[in-house]
Amino acid sequence: MSKPMRVVREYVQRGHVEKNIGTTPIAAKKMRVAAYCRVSTKEDDQLNSYEAQVNYYTQYISSKPEWDFVGIYADEGITGTKLRRRKEFNRLISDALDGKINLIIVKSVSRFARNTVDSLSTVRDLREKGVKIFFEKENIDSLDSKCDMVLSIYSSLAEEESRSISTNIRWRWQKQVEAGEVSYNFNLLYGYRQDENKKVAIYKPEAEVIQDIYFKFLIGYTYREIIRDFKERGVEPPNKTNKSGLWQTSTIKSILENEKYMGDVILQKTYTRDFLSERRVLNIGQAPQKYVENNHPAIIDRTTWNAVQAEMERRANLRTVEKSGKGRYSGQYAFSGKIECGCCGAGYRRHHQHGNRAWVCKQHIKKSSLCPALPIRENVLEAAFVRTLNDIIQNHDRIIEVVGTAVNEALAEAGEELDRNDELIEIDGQIETLQARILELNKQRGKREIDAEQYNTESREVMTKLDALFIERDLIAEQRNTATLSKAFQEVVAEFLSKAGAQAEFDRDIFARLVDKIIVKSRENIIFVLKDGTEVKTVLSDAI
C-alpha cells in the first residue's frame, strides 16, 4: 500500500467571520513622554546640573509635536543606590505601570540606578507594560533585545563606581576617627547651639532642663515621674526628634546616657555595613572607635554623669525575686523600694488597712509565719522622717563629729576606687592580647597548621583566662560605680544639710534626695540610712 501524500491547506476555524476593514486612516496617538533627573548631592555644582537637566528635558520633549509631554520626575540630593528613598523615581515607575507614560528619557544609566538588580528588574517590569526607557549617554533602548546585557554591564560599572566612592568616604571618615576629629552638628543636640564657624555653645534654657533631669534621676525619680513633672510645669520636649510634642521615656533615657553632655564624644557609635543598603548599625566592636575628652563645653559635671550611669545600672540590675521578697525599682510612692525588713531582709509593700495606708513586709503578706514583722502606718513613717530630719539639722555639727571619721574613710575609699584607671588599662590590654590569640588559633586551625586536640586545649585555656579577666574588670567597674554614687550622694546630702531649715511637714523630694533606705527593726524601732551612709535611729511610740 502506497504512503499517503502529505498535504498542507488553509484552515478556517468554525465561527470565524472575515471583517471588512475600511480604508479610513486612524489618527496615530501621541506618545506620552516623561524624563527622569537625579543628582546625588546638594552641592552648588550638582544643583546647577540638576536645574540644567530639568530645563533641557522640558524644552526638548515639548518641542516634539508627536510627543505629549507628561512631565519631569526629579530627585534632588538623593543617592542612586536605594530605590525606596527616591520618591519621584517611584512615582515615575508607578505612573508608567498605570499606563500614563509610554517613553521615559534618562540622561544615563547611573542617573537611573546604581544598583544592578534594581536597574534590571525595573526595566523588565516596564518592558512587560510596553514602556520604553531611553538612556541618552549610552544610546540604549530598553525594548531592544540586547538591552539587558548592555544595561547589566553599564549598571555594574555604576554600582562599582558607587562602591569606590563609598570606600573612599569610609576611608576618610576612618582617618578622621583615628585623628580624633569630631564632625557633628551640635544644632541637632538638645542643649547646644553651633554657629557657622562650628563653634559650640551651651543653650541655657535647654541646659537647665538637662541638669534638672540628671538631678531628679539621681535623687530617685523614675522616667515617668520626670515626665509627669515636666508636663505639669509645661516644659517643652526636644522638637527636633519628637513629633508628638510630648516627653518620652526614650528621650529621657538618651539624655541620661549621652556622654556629650559632659563634654566628651564617642566617635563612630554606628557604621555603614553595606554601601548599597546604606543602613547604619550599632557599632559593638566591628569598627574601631575613639573617645574624645573635653571636646566642647560640658552641661553636666563628670561626677554627676558617672553617678547617673551607676544609678541606671543599679536600677537595671534590680529584679523581682519571690524568695527574698525584693522587687524591681519603683518610684510610684515615696517609700517604694526604700523600706527593708529588719527581720527577714525583704522589701515592703503598700496596703490599705482599716482605712489607713500602711506598709507591710512582703514575706509577712505571704504568710505571717515567714516573718513576724507587723504593718506600720504611712503617716507614722512620714512624721518619723520629719522629726529625724529636724533633729539632724539642729544637731548637724554633733552628727558630723560622730560620723565624720566614717564618712572621711568612705570618701577616701571612694577616691581609691575611682583612681583605678591603670588597673583597667592593664586588664584591657591582656584581654586584647588573648582575643588576638583566639583569632590566631582559628586561622591556624583553618589552615590545618594545628590539629583539633591542640586547638581545643589552647582555646579552653585562653577562654578560661578571658573569663577571669572579664569578671575582674566587671568587679572593678562595679566598685567604681558604687564609689561614684557614694561620692555624689555625700555631696548632695552635705549641700542640703548646710542650707536646710526646720521642716514642718513631709516633703517627698527632700526624702528622695536624702534617704537611701529605711530599715524597720520593729514598729517602734526604725533606722533611716542617708545616701551618704549615715545611719540615724528613731524610736517611735505611736507606730500602731
Kind plus residue range of the DSSP H or E element containing 407: helix 396-418
* DSSP type of residue 347: B
- How does 328-355 read in b/e, with b if 16+ C-beta sit within 10 Å? eeebeebbbbbbbbbbbebbbbeeeeee
Cα–Cα distance for residue pair 260/295, rounded to 1 Å: 9
Greatest CA separation for the chain: 137
* Cβ 135 vs Cβ 150: under 8 Å: no
Angle 153-159-162 from CA coordinates, rounded to 5°: 145
What pTM did the predictor assign?
0.49
Of 57, 59, 65, 63, the residue nearest 31 (C-alpha): 65
- For the domain spanning 186-315, the CATH number is 3.90.1750.20
CATH topology of domain 31-163: Rossmann fold (3.40.50)
Q: Which long-range contacts (CB under 8 A, 24 or more apart) does 445-454 make?
A: none
Cα Rg for the chain, rounded, in angstroms? 37
Q: Is the pLDDT of residue 537 over 80?
A: yes
Query: Could you tell me the three cell numbers for 211?
Result: 541638669
Model pLDDT, residue 268 = 61
Tens-place pLDDT, residues 164-223: 555 544 545 455 544 545 466 778 889 889 888 878 889 999 999 999 999 888 877 888
Domain boundaries, the chain: 31-163, 186-315, 339-539
Segment 95-111, tens digit of pLDDT = 999 989 999 998 887 77
34 close to 102: Cβ distance less than 8 angstroms: no
Q: What is the pLDDT of residue 322?
A: 46
> Would you say residue 20 has pLDDT above 60?
no
Calculate mean pLDDT across residues 219-237: 87
Q: How far apart are CA 255 and CA 235, in angstroms?
A: 15
